[in-house]
Amino acid sequence: MNSSQSLTLPAPAKLNLMLHIVGKNERNYHLLQTVFQLLDYGDELTFEVNNRGSVTLDCNAPQLINDNNLVLKAAQLLRPYAADNAGVHITLEKRLPMGGGIGGGSSDCATTLLALNKLWQCELSLDTLANLGLHLGADVPVFVKGKTAWAEGIGEQLTAHKLPELWYLVVHPECFVSTEKIFSNKALTRDSEISKIRDFLAQGGPRRGSNVMEPVVFDLYPDVKKVRDWLLQFNPDARMTGSGSCLFAPFDNEREARKIACRCEWPNFVARGVNTSPVHTKLFE
């Protein structure tokens, strides 16, 4: 390990273009069918390695500087595979809204696994990193594997799939939705018919897709529904990602997306859907 090494990497957001629940596993986790669309927008992390064995975090969102941060948990998970004196100082530039269903925490975690695997020369495969990451969150593996994908299981059985790289307006209703609260709601549909990626593609691909969490979230959080209804005026394909609270609408080009963004009174961003994660592009291409 070269103790003067430093690396800056993105941590992209994801959208769930559709999300169905088809059952539960033995640990009572829900079995999903979903399409993960990676975006070219997200947080940014800088890793400065040291040989003092210390792992520290700095962040522009001070409430995130604590031992529960998935970035620190990821670093601790890799420590056994690194030299005894391997350490790192991580700077997290948080841009993605939290609890928004766009996977910011999971993506930060995955970027940390990928970065430290390289900097600490752990030499773990992507499959091993994805399996390790799964212990920290169901959404971590897709960010480690770095491909837009059809996912099953709890989101870890991934089949990479190239989709048209549309532009997305993503709007945050400034309301935090607890993923656990939505998954444990009695009204949630848990018996969706099992489908295939070809069904998603036949029904309109990235433009269309249903999310079974929407009715539950809209009922509990009227502010989320309000944003969805606002977006529907401009785009009939507007919908929610993951367990919310973010809503998104697909567009053919950036200009159309930005035109609506200008009129939006809630925090928002415009990003392009990408088939390969910007982390992978920077690390491996």
Ligand X SMILES: C[C@@](CO)(OP(=O)(O)O)[C@H](O)COP(=O)(O)OP(=O)(O)OC[C@H]1O[C@@H](n2ccc(N)nc2=O)[C@H](O)[C@@H]1O
Ligand Y SMILES: Nc1ncnc2c1ncn2[C@@H]1O[C@H](COP(=O)(O)OP(=O)(O)O)[C@@H](O)[C@H]1O
Catalytic positions are 14, 139
Say whether 100 counts as a known binding-site residue. Answer: yes
In angstroms, give the least distance from the CB of 236 to ligand Y: 25
Q: Give, rounded to a whole angstrom, the gap between the first and last alpha carbons of the chain.
A: 22
Q: Residue with the closest Cβ to ligand X?
A: 242
Q: Residue with the closest Cβ to ligand Y?
A: 105
Task: Considering the complex, state which of residue 16 and residue 148 has its C-beta at the smaller distance from ligand X.
Answer: 16
Q: Is 148 in the site for ligand X (CB under 6 A)?
A: no
Say whether 101 counts as a known binding-site residue. Answer: yes
Grouping H, G, I as helix, E, B as strand and the rest as coil, residue 91 is: strand
Do the strands 87-93 and 55-59 form a parallel or antiparallel pair, or are they unpaired? parallel
2-31 residues in contact with ligand X (CB under 6 A) are 16, 29-30
Grouping H, G, I as helix, E, B as strand and the rest as coil, residue 10 is: strand
180 binds, among ligand Y, ligand X, none (CB under 5 to 8 A by kind): ligand X
Q: Pick one of 97, 137, 146, 278: the residue that binds ligand X (CB under 6 A).
A: 137
Number of neighbours of residue 80 by Cβ within 10 angstroms = 7
Q: Is 112 in the site for ligand X (CB under 6 A)?
A: no
In terms of C-beta density within 10 A (0-12 exposed, 13-18 middle, 19 or more buried), how is residue 67 classed? exposed
- List residues near ligand Y by CB under 6 A: 64, 68-71, 98-106, 108, 179, 242
Nearest to 141, CA basis, from 49, 19, 14, 17: 14
Say whether 99 counts as a known binding-site residue. Answer: yes
Q: How far apart are CA 222 and CA 101, in angstroms?
A: 17
Using CB under 6 A, which of the segments 74-82, 124-132, 136-144, 220-228 binds ligand X? 136-144
Nearest to 255, CA basis, from 240, 274, 270, 239: 270
Residues 6+ apart with CB under 8 A from 227: 171, 173, 247, 266
Nearest to 114, CA basis, from 127, 99, 102, 95: 127
DSSP character at residue 147: B
Q: Is 139 in the site for ligand X (CB under 6 A)?
A: yes
In angstroms, give the least distance from the CB of 39 to ligand X: 13
Rounded to 5 degrees, what are φ and ψ at 50? -140, 165
232-271 residues in contact with ligand X (CB under 6 A) are 242-243
In angstroms, give the least distance from the CB of 50 to ligand X: 30
Q: How far apart are CA 5 and CA 7, in angstroms?
A: 7
Q: Pick one of 46, 91, 157, 179: the residue that binds ligand X (CB under 6 A).
A: 179
In angstroms, give the least distance from the CB of 242 to ligand X: 2
Say whether 106 counts as a known binding-site residue. Answer: yes
In angstroms, give the least distance from the CB of 99 to ligand Y: 5
The annotation places the binding site for ATP at 97-107
Enumerate binding residues for ligand X (CB under 6 A): 16, 29-30, 32, 34, 101, 103, 106, 137-139, 154-155, 179-180, 183, 242-243
